[in-house]
Amino acid sequence: MSLPLSEISLPPRCEICGIGTVSIGKLPRIGLRPLVYVYKCDACNKITSVEPERQEEATRRRAASTRRPRALVKTDRIKKR
């Protein structure tokens, strides 16, 4: 059983001061809204949220866009009568 990316990776660093953040908790997935992890920087009191489902989806999209597309060209031969 694999763990979600956000549970095995380190908390994000603060965008303002660069210090590591502390996990406050998580907001559960409700309806169409994704699971959200919430972190706080103790130095500057900035709150950061991470949506792992959207990050994984964006990573998959980037990987798919870098793949070489398959040739969709089909050649037809014209028959002479």
- Domain at 43, CATH number: 2.20.25
Over residues 3-19, the pLDDT tens digits come to 555 455 788 898 889 89
Is residue 2 in some structural domain?
no
Is residue 56 in some structural domain?
yes
Burial of residue 77 (CB within 10 Å: 0-12, 13-18, 19+) is: exposed
Is residue 17 in some structural domain?
yes
Q: Name the residue with higher pLDDT: 63 or 32.
A: 32
Residue whose tokens read 């398959």? 70
Is residue 32 in some structural domain?
yes
Question: Using an 8 Å Cβ cutoff, are 31 and 22 in contact?
Answer: no
Distance CA 41, CA 15 (A): 9
Residue whose tokens read 């870098």? 66
Over residues 25-62, the pLDDT tens digits come to 999 998 888 899 999 999 999 999 888 877 666 676 76
